[in-house]
Amino acid sequence: MKSLMFVVAFLSAVLASEFLHPLSDEFIEQINAQQSTWKAGRNFEIEDYELVKILASGSKGIRNREVLAFNVDAVSDDIPESFDAREAWPNCADVIGLIRDQSQCSASWAFAAAETMSDRICIHSNATKKILVSSQDVLTCSFIFGCEGGNIDYPWSQWNQFGYVSGGLYNNTSQGCKSYFLPSCDGQPSNCSGSVRTPSCVQQCDDNSLNYNSQYTYGQRIQGFSSESRIQQEILTNGPVEGSFNVFQDFVSYQSGIYQYVNGSHVGEHAVKILGWGVENSVKYWLVANSWNEKWGENGYFRILRGTNECNIESDAVVALPDFNRFFKLHIFSTIFFVKMKSLAVACLFVTVSAVFAGKLLHPLSDEFIDQINAKQSTWTAGKNFEIEDYELVKVLASGSKGIRNREALKFNVHDDSDDVPESFDSREAWPECADVIGLIRDQSRCGACWAFAAAEAMSDRICIHSNATRKTLVSSQDILTCTLSYGCDGGSIDAPWSLWYEKGYVTGGLYNNTSQGCQSYFLPNCEDHPNKCTNYVNTPSCVEQCDDTSVVYSAQKTYGLEAYSVSRAKQIQLEILKNGPVETAFDVYQDFVSYKSGIYQYTAGDLEGGHAVKIIGWGVENGVKYWLIANSWNERWGENGYFRMLRGTDECGIESFVAAGLPDFTKF
C-alpha cells in the first residue's frame, strides 16, 4: 500500500510539472529537489520566455555529413582526467576565455564557430596571431542562415571555401574588421526584448580605413567527431571544438554544477564551444563556454554530464584547422560571389561553386535532389513520394515528435548484456498469431500525430503478445492524440503516452471511420498514395470521453499499462523487443528521408526537418550492413509497404538514444 501511495504521489508531481511555467519559482524549486549535481536559479523572468526560445534554438544540427570526414582514428590511452584549454595554452587564455553575447538573435551556431576558430588560430600560431573571427561575418555571410539558426557544419565548410574576416564584440572596432551588431544583454534579459532580423552581408569593415579583403582568415581539413574519447583527443591535440546539444526547459535556469536533464519540454538545439573536461565528486563533466554573457551560469560557462551523451552533446562536434598560407590575401573571388548571390543576379557561377552548393540550390522534393541522394550512396534508394507542392505536408509529417519530456518519470529498464541476440528478428514472425496486429500500418494523415500513433501501435502489439493472442485489442491513436495533456497535431513527447497509459488508460480504436475496431476511430481519412488528399492544416479535436458508437460504454473500453520505462543502446533495445515486443522511438528526420523507397536508410543530404516517432519491430543484416526494421505511419504505399530499414548500431539520426515502452496491466482492463 505504501509503495502504491508513493507511485501515485510521484506521478502526481510529474504531471503537476506539466502546468508549471518553466521560468516560475515553483519549477526551479522542483528542479533543485529532484537532483543534486547542479543548482537552478532565476536567470529570466516569466515575461522573457520568448527570448529564451530564441536563445535556445540557434542550432539546426549537421547539414552535410558527407562533406565531413568523421575521425575514426585510434584514441590515445594518455587522456588526462581533467583538461582546460585556457590552462593548456596560457598565452591564448584571453582569446579562449572570451565570453561573447549573442543577444536576441538565434546565432549560437555562428558564435560557437567564430569562438572556436579564434581559439585555434591563436593555438596553432603559438599565440603569434591573436585574431578574433567575426561572429557578425559568420552570421550574415553564410548564405540563408542568420538569426533563425543555422547548421553547425556550414561555417566550417565556408571557412575552408571562402573564409571569414576578423571582428569581435559589439561596437568594438579595435577587435577587427566587423563587430557584432547587437549590444550585450548584460545579464538583463529586458535589454534583449523582441526578435531581430538578420542584417545583410556587407563586405566592408566598420572602420572604412581598413581593407576588407585583407582581413580574411581561412580554414582547412574540416572534420567531425562523435564519442567522448574522440572529442577529448581532438581538444587535447588541436584546441576547443564546436558542439551542439538539445536544450530542455530546465537548462535555461542553470546557475552552477554539472548539468543533467531533470525536467521540462524540449525547447530547441543550441551550439556551444567545448574547451575541456573534468571530474567532480566522481561525476564526469564537459567544460563548455556558452554565448549568453558572463552573468549567466558559471561566469558564462557551464558543465554538463560527460560520457553518457547527455542531451546529445557527444553526437556531433565539428572543427577545422586554420590555413595560415591563405590569411589576409586578396579575396576578389568571394567578393564577386557574394555580390552576385545577394543581388540574385546569378547568371553564371563557376562550376566548382555550383558543385559545392548544389544541395543548397535544389528543392528537397525535386528529381535532381533525389538523383543526388542516389548518386552519393548505395545502401538505399530514393524516389518520388511527394510532389514539390506537398512540402507543407512533408513538414507536418516529419515534425510530430518533441522527444522526451519527463526522463525522471520513466525508469530505465536494463537487460543482461550477456544474453544472446539473434542476427535477425521480426516480431511478426516471432509472434505469428499477433502478426495481423503488429503488421497493421496506420496513416496519421495531415496531423503531426506520429508520437501518438507509434505509442498506440506498440501498446496494441504488446497487449496481443502478453495475452498470448487472446486479446487482439487496438489502442486508439485518437484517444492518445486528443486526451494526452496539451499535445495534439502540433506534436508531442514520446514518453507522455506511456506514463499516462498507467495513470489514466486509453480506450480501444483503430483506423478512420472503422467502429468495428474499437471505441474511438481516427478522425482523418487515409492519405493513400495521393498527398493532395491531405492538404490544409487541421486543428486537434477536443478530448471526448465517448465512443463513436454511443451504445458502447467508454469507460469499459479502457486499456492500461502496468509500468512505463525507457531503454537505450542498440543491444538493450534488441533485448527489450526480443522479450516484450515492439517499442516506440524517435529520430531526427532530414530532407532526404521523405523520399525513401527501399533499402537501409542512412543520412545522405538535406536539412533537418524535425523529429519523428516510429515503432521498431525487429532487425537484421543485409550485405554486411546491420539495420533496424521499422513501421512508419505514412500508409502502406510509402517505403517498403509502409516500413523502412535504418542503419543499426551507430545511433543513426538518434534512433537508439531513447526508446519508450511499457507492459499492459490486464488486471485493470
Catalytically annotated residues: 450, 612, 632
For CA atoms 393, 395, 397, 401, give the dihedral sign.
negative
637: nearest Cα among 531, 510, 524, 532:
531
> CA–CA separation, 135 vs 170, rounded Å?
10
> CA–CA separation, 14 vs 266, rounded Å?
16
> CA–CA separation, 642 vs 442, rounded Å?
9
Give CA separation, 332 vs 138, 164, 456, in Å. 18, 13, 59
Q: Exposure of 640 by Cβ count < 10 A (0-12 exposed, 13-18 middle, 19+ buried)?
A: middle
488: nearest Cα among 440, 554, 547, 537:
537
Backbone conformation region of residue 382, classed left if phi is above 0, alpha if psi is from -120 to 50, else beta: beta
Per the DSSP assignment, residues forming a β-bridge with 283 are 280
DSSP state letter for 491: B
User: Nearest-5° angle of CA 178, CA 125, CA 83?
Assistant: 100
The pairing of beta strand 561-567 with beta strand 411-412? parallel
Long-range contacts (CB closer than 8 Å, 24 or more residues apart) made by 23-29: 23/48, 23/49, 23/52, 23/252, 23/253, 27/249, 27/250, 27/253, 27/263, 27/264, 28/253
Residue 534 backbone dihedrals phi, psi, to 5 degrees? -115, 35
Backbone conformation region of residue 289, classed left if phi is above 0, alpha if psi is from -120 to 50, else beta: beta
The pairing of beta strand 411-412 with beta strand 558-559? unpaired
3-class secondary structure for 354-366? HHHCHHHHCCCCC
> CA–CA separation, 589 vs 259, rounded Å?
27
Per the DSSP assignment, residues forming a β-bridge with 219 are 322
Asked if 540 contacts 489 with a C-beta cutoff of 8 angstroms, the reply is: yes
Q: Give every CB contact of residue 19 below 8 A, 6+ residues apart in sequence.
A: none
Residue 324 backbone dihedrals phi, psi, to 5 degrees? -65, -20
Asked if 285 contacts 275 with a C-beta cutoff of 8 angstroms, the reply is: no
**C-alpha 580: how far from its chain's center?**
28
Per the DSSP assignment, residues forming a β-bridge with 106 are 148
318: nearest Cα among 52, 60, 592:
60
520: nearest Cα among 528, 535, 510:
510
Give CA separation, 74 vs 71, 78, 234, 633, 648, in Å. 9, 12, 12, 41, 22
